[in-house]
Amino acid sequence: MCKVKEQAQAEYMQQNLRTTPRMRSRTKSISDLAEPAQSSIVQFSTYYIYVCAVLIGLWYDFVDLILQFWFGLSLTMQQLTNVKPLIFLGDPFYWCFDDCRASRLWNCLNNVVSSTPGARIEVVQRKRNADGSVELLDTTRKCLNLGSYNYLGFADDWQNTCRDRVMKSLDEFGVTTAASVVSGGYTSVHKELEESVAAFVGKEAAVCFNMGYGTNQTAIPAFFGKGCLLISDTLNHTSIVNGSRASGATIRVFKHNNVEHLESVLQTAIIEGQPLTHRPWKKILVMVEGVYSMEGEVCELAGIVSMAKKYKAYMYVDEAHSIGALGATGRGICEYAGVDPADVDILMGTFTKSFSGMGGYLASSKEFIDYIRSQSMGTVLAQSMSPVVAQQILTALRIIDGKDGTNLGRQKLQDIRDNSNYFRKELIRMGLQVLGDEDSPVIPVMLYVPTKLSLFHELCMERGLAVVCVGFPAVGLNGSRVRFCISAGHTRKDLEDAIEKLREVADILMLHYNNSALG
């Protein structure tokens, strides 16, 4: 599987593009939040835009305050300008930033879709009225879907592959279990799903939750508490951060993908012990993700696992974006990085991305999973997964594993790898600044200037591409980007068309940051 990577890299170097030195060592450059790889002028324009937005918002609030002071609530800025703000509630002075952002990026946020998230998606058109509110129109537009997490294309061929089995289980079990896992919501489908997932990732046992975010949020506090140490990567997802905070354990961070820094954090922690008492830690857990969704980067799992083993810390890998997408047979980051799953203590993943389902799982040794099943609020109090969804995931898993007797799973995995590599290569060849590593299906392209987010979305929608633009505060201030998610359902022709359209959009918006300073 590394051959595709090497070939692509060799070809890319051969093109002799003008790359900044940072571009060549991708894992160390742009993902480090403090160091952008943009020219000063572009960064000045970013600062200028944010300063203007904040000052205009503050001035609006100030005038509103003065008006209320003089006239009472009978005259507010809203009445004066006849424009309703899109966001009403929040902290009085900082909601203005939220409203500034929501008003200016209204076309990127809250898009309504009216079809399955396959390779093509129907987006309901909206328009903005004169008084500021956003209204849905009756027309829809069928666009190429470059934003949904439909990695293996199950949303496209669901009618042929999964429908029969899923509908059968709908008749057998109904839509909901109406109970939590421990109190009656555990059907034979759930049991089979957990056993299949455990066998798929190479662990003894697994437990499934109804919500992917909720898996992290409820499972980490179940096992780790005060006196434990959680060492997590800087760029970990919010669900991991929130779950860690909810647990009450001490949290330290190590620099993204930086094995040396992880070693120093581990050494310091073990030598110093707990904060005030200096007693030894009860447990130390190192938490990383397989593929980081905002950067498209793959984790350096081999180095991190060896470091954790050396200092006898536990390992937790969140494979939300990598299960079913990385690795020759889709077994995730462990297979891709060549790490034995027995070396990673807890493997967590979600079913939303590659399996076209919903929910998450935790896979580990049998004792740990039994403990989690009885102690975690996600299994004790939250409702268990719908049997229909569980059957869908089971069917998808069987296809990926090849157990249904066809070659479809292998074909899908090959397709997504080829598609992502092709798309990434073409974008780099165009001169756009693309983050992330080869083979990852998430492809972020830097826009830097926040006003380009809204215009990029509009131009793409005109040309029939549905994209997801990400800005502050989901990413850093200087890190506005558009994130493409490639799927196995895309054909090569789809991607070629998309590249042509993106070429036009990139020319209009001046996005070739790799070729020149101003793009």
Cβ distance 318 to 310 under 8 Å?
no
Burial 308-340 (b: 16+ CB within 10 A, else e): beeeebbbbbbbbbbbbbbbeebbbbbbbbebe
**How many residues of this chain bind another protein (CB under 8 A)?**
33
By CB under 8 A, name the one of 12, 97, 173, 456 that touches another protein: 97
By CB under 8 A, name the one of 1, 2, 13, 51 that touches another protein: 51
Spatial strand order of the sheet with 442-448 comes to: 442-448, 480-485, 468-470
Q: Interface with another protein by CB under 8 A: which range of 325-333, 461-469, 471-479, 495-503?
A: 471-479
Q: Interface with another protein by CB under 8 A: which range of 51-59, 129-137, 307-315, 481-489?
A: 51-59
Cβ distance 180 to 383 under 8 Å?
yes
The residue type found at 363 is A
Residue bearing tokens 């719908």: 386
Nearer to another protein, 10 or 276 (CB): 276
470 is a site residue for another protein (CB under 8 A):
no
Nearer to another protein, 115 or 274 (CB): 274
Q: Interface with another protein by CB under 8 A: which range of 144-152, 240-248, 300-308, 350-358?
A: 240-248
DSSP state of 471: -
Nearer to another protein, 297 or 439 (CB): 297
DSSP per-residue letters across 419-441? HHHHHHHHHHHHT--B-S-TT-S
Using CB atoms within 10 A of its CB, is residue 20 exposed (0-12), middle (13-18) or buried (19+)?
middle
54 is a site residue for another protein (CB under 8 A):
yes
Nearer to another protein, 86 or 430 (CB): 86
Query: For the CA atoms of 437, 211, 224, 256, what is the dihedral angle to 10 degrees?
Result: 20
509 is a site residue for another protein (CB under 8 A):
no
By CB under 8 A, name the one of 94, 133, 500, 508 that touches another protein: 94
Cβ distance 518 to 39 under 8 Å?
yes
Using CB atoms within 10 A of its CB, is residue 61 exposed (0-12), middle (13-18) or buried (19+)?
middle
Nearer to another protein, 222 or 241 (CB): 241
CA 324 to CA 436: how far, in whole Å? 18
By CB under 8 A, name the one of 8, 49, 58, 455 that touches another protein: 58
303 is a site residue for another protein (CB under 8 A):
no
Q: Interface with another protein by CB under 8 A: which range of 169-177, 200-208, 241-249, 277-285?
A: 241-249
56 is a site residue for another protein (CB under 8 A):
no
21 is a site residue for another protein (CB under 8 A):
no
43 is a site residue for another protein (CB under 8 A):
yes
| Token pair listed for 125 | 């058109």
DSSP state of 384: P
CA 53 to CA 51: how far, in whole Å? 5
Q: Interface with another protein by CB under 8 A: which range of 148-156, 233-241, 318-326, 396-404?
A: 233-241
Q: Which of 391, 397, 407 is nearest to 163 (CA)?
A: 391
The residue type found at 223 is F
Shortest Å, Cβ 91 to another protein: 5
Cβ distance 465 to 144 under 8 Å?
yes
CA 458 to CA 496: how far, in whole Å? 20
By CB under 8 A, name the one of 4, 11, 47, 188 that touches another protein: 47
Shortest Å, Cβ 47 to another protein: 5
241 is a site residue for another protein (CB under 8 A):
yes
Per-residue binding string, another protein, 400-419, x by CB under 8 A, is --------------------
64 is a site residue for another protein (CB under 8 A):
no
253 is a site residue for another protein (CB under 8 A):
yes
Query: From its phi and psi, is residue 293 left (phi > 0), alpha (psi between -120 and 50) or beta?
Result: alpha
472 is a site residue for another protein (CB under 8 A):
yes
By CB under 8 A, name the one of 6, 44, 367, 507 that touches another protein: 44
139 is a site residue for another protein (CB under 8 A):
no
Residue bearing tokens 């165009």: 430
Nearer to another protein, 41 or 137 (CB): 41
Shortest Å, Cβ 323 to another protein: 24
49 is a site residue for another protein (CB under 8 A):
no
What is the three-state SS of 296-338? Answer: CEECCHHHHHHHHHHCCCEEEEECCCCCCCCCCCCCCHHHHHC
Q: Interface with another protein by CB under 8 A: which range of 87-95, 307-315, 378-386, 387-395?
A: 87-95
Binding residues among 268-297 for another protein as defined by CB under 8 A: 275
Shortest Å, Cβ 106 to another protein: 17
Enumerate binding residues for another protein (CB under 8 A). Answer: 33-34, 40, 43-44, 47-48, 51, 54-55, 58, 91, 93-94, 97-98, 101, 234, 238, 241-242, 245, 250-253, 275, 472-473, 475-478
